[in-house]
Amino acid sequence: MSRAIVIGAGVGGLTAAMKLAHQGWQVDVFEKQAVPGGRCGRVEAGGFRWDLGPTIMLMPFVFEQAFASVGRRLSDYLTLVRCDPNYRVTFHDDSTLTLSTELTKMRDELERLEPGSFERYLRFLAKGRDRHDTSMERFVGKHFDSLAQFLSPSNLPHALRIGAHQKLYAQVSKSFHDERLRQAMSFQTMYLGVSPYEAPAVFSLLPYTELVVGIWYPMGGMGAIPRALEKVCGELEVGLHYGQAVKRVVLEGGVATGVELADGSIERADVVVCNADYPWAQKHLIDPAVSSHPELEQKRYTSSGYMLYLGLKRRYDELLHHNIFFGGDFEGSFRDIFEALKVPEAPSFYVNAPAHLDPSMAPEGKDALYVLVPVPHRAPHLDWKVEGPKVRAKVFARLAALGLGSLEADIEVERVVTPDDWERELNLERGSNFGLAQNMFQIGPFRPKVWDDRITNLFYCGASVQPGTGVPTVMISAELCVQAIGERAQPGPAQRTARVSPEVKEPSLAAAREVAP
């Protein structure tokens, strides 16, 4: 057997590991944290449990295909529940819109805000389906080595049809006249950390996916996904080494031959798969004399998130499972976050209340609220010891104005994660939650490949490489990575080493900075 080493036990790394093991590789995963998941991890405290990062599961068929590719059924490892309704949006004027996959409910909601909009909504979904199906078939599920390949005669008409050259918000505005509906049908690009004013129109596949395929919830939270992958890896005899950070990729004559761990020991391998954040890995894991990428400094990065994980003394039935609260100046807030790199004066935010669907997330009768405020990635002028308390105060003031004034007083446990924490604990360059942005010139062939052009036998998977960010997309990147290994890996002498049981440590982010309520 050839040996593969995977750096990082995120969703991408674990997916690649199980696929390689299924093909007969000896696979070892080395992870800095004490638990799997990376951004898709968990925070636990005082009997409460929260997802660390992603909370919305889209495209369940991608997960099913990943498990089927190694001879497993997803349903044997995860229990999925469809969210109904999807979520409620509360606009700046305090009006609301509840989105659902049921057309009769959506008709009533849309017509209430904009009479005559339902027919245009159906056409919007039809266009979204075309973009979804075409994208998955021709673009998302494929790797592009060059612009010429991306815009080949067979692809170019499809690229134009799905709106690769147009902006999402402008396209949505053709279907809806009421500004509230335009916001509700375009903000989903923030799942990828990108402004709807900059994202390509192809991303209308996101609201389509939500409103037709639905939003799903894996019991136990999104953190159950990497644990399911971990279980499959265990069945396939993948070596899982937690609490063992990788210091660098070992290179010999332009070939990746293993990794050096933080303790100085060397692990040899025939191929190395890097699931660490691509821009961070280029700076910290790879010798710049061999593979330097100064252009990464000029790339656009996604937003970050100021996070509150709140354990409450009682249940707040006023909240749905998923809740969106828009702040003032919708367009201006995106300019603040992505261009000015400042926190908006009236920020939008998202509240997840998983215990309403999954009792395991909080003690009986209590609530575990997850609050995400989109904010700029790290910048020299932003001090999160100063900015964080300001953001927190604005969130509670807005919720109080909506009738949830007692919420802050009901806090039993509170944890906070800032952009500084995202960079320090999870090695995310600039604290960007989603890695490199997916604007018009950072998708397809403009995005880093899943293999290294300069280093033989070094491969990548994750949010910052092709095809892009998002949990299902990262799983697809792992599939593309494994395909590339099969096509491009060169024979390499791996020296077999005994597997050791790592010292178990408490995960740093799972014990995020505590704030007295």
What the chain holds in terms of domains, given with CATH numbers, is: 3-42+57-79+222-299+437-488 (3.50.50.60), 84-214 (no CATH), 303-427 (3.30.519)
| 8 Å CB contact between 11 and 474 | yes
pLDDT of residue 135: 66
pLDDT of residue 517: 34
pLDDT of residue 500: 38
| 8 Å CB contact between 183 and 330 | yes
pLDDT of residue 297: 85
Structure tokens at 163: 């709106």
Instruction: Tell me the backbone φ, ψ of residue 30, rounded to 5 degrees.
Output: -115, 125
Identity of residue 371: V
Identity of residue 175: S
Q: How far is CA 252 from CA 61, 268, 269, 458, in A?
A: 40, 11, 12, 12
Select from 454, 492, 488, 434 the least CA-distant residue to 143. 488
Residues with Cβ within 8 Å of residue 197, at least 6 apart in sequence:
167, 168, 169, 331, 334
Select from 217, 216, 187 the least CA-distant residue to 203. 187
Structure tokens at 23: 């093909």
3-state secondary structure 289-301: CCCCCHHHHHCCE
Select from 269, 274, 273, 264 the least CA-distant residue to 252. 269
3-state secondary structure 108-127: HHHHHHCCCHHHHHHHHHHH
* Terminal-to-terminal C-alpha distance of the chain: 54
Identity of residue 79: T
pLDDT of residue 144: 67
Q: How far apart are CA 434 and CA 91, in angstroms?
A: 25
In order along its 517 residues, the chain shows pLDDT tens digits of: 699 999 999 999 999 999 999 999 999 999 999 999 999 999 999 999 999 999 999 999 999 999 999 999 999 999 999 999 999 999 999 999 999 999 999 999 999 999 999 999 999 898 888 777 776 665 666 666 766 666 666 665 656 555 556 788 988 999 999 999 999 999 999 988 889 998 887 777 888 899 999 999 999 999 999 999 999 999 999 999 999 999 999 999 999 999 999 999 999 999 999 999 999 999 999 998 887 777 888 899 999 999 999 999 999 999 999 999 999 899 999 999 999 999 999 999 999 999 999 999 999 999 999 999 999 999 999 999 999 999 999 999 999 999 999 999 999 999 999 999 999 999 999 999 999 988 777 887 889 999 999 999 999 999 999 998 999 999 999 999 999 999 999 986 554 443 433 443 334 454 444 443 3
| 8 Å CB contact between 355 and 368 | yes
| 8 Å CB contact between 225 and 40 | yes
Evaluate the CA torsion angle 314, 93, 168, 432 in order and state its sign.
negative
Q: Report helix, strand or coil for 178.
A: coil
Instruction: Tell me the backbone φ, ψ of residue 257, rounded to 5 degrees.
Output: -120, 10
| 8 Å CB contact between 460 and 276 | no
Structure tokens at 488: 């491009």
Rg from Cα positions in the chain? 22
What DSSP string runs through 366-392?
Answer: -EEEEEEEEEPPP-TT--HHHHHHHHH
Evaluate the CA torsion angle 184, 185, 187, 188 in order and state its sign.
positive
Tokens 């070939």 belong to: 255
CA angle 297, 299, 305 (to 5 degrees): 100
Residues with Cβ within 8 Å of residue 151, at least 6 apart in sequence:
159
Identity of residue 368: A
pLDDT of residue 164: 59
CA angle 226, 419, 56 (to 5 degrees): 40
Residues with Cβ within 8 Å of residue 424, at least 6 apart in sequence:
none
Residue 510: DSSP 8-state? G
Residues with Cβ within 8 Å of residue 404, at least 6 apart in sequence:
316, 318
Helices 471-488 & 60-68, crossing angle to 10 degrees?
30
The DSSP element (H or E) to which 322 belongs, if any, is strand 322-325
Beta bridge partners of 31: 242
Tokens 């490199």 belong to: 436
Q: How far apart are CA 239 and CA 298, in angstroms?
A: 37
Structure tokens at 405: 């004034």
Residue length, the chain?
517
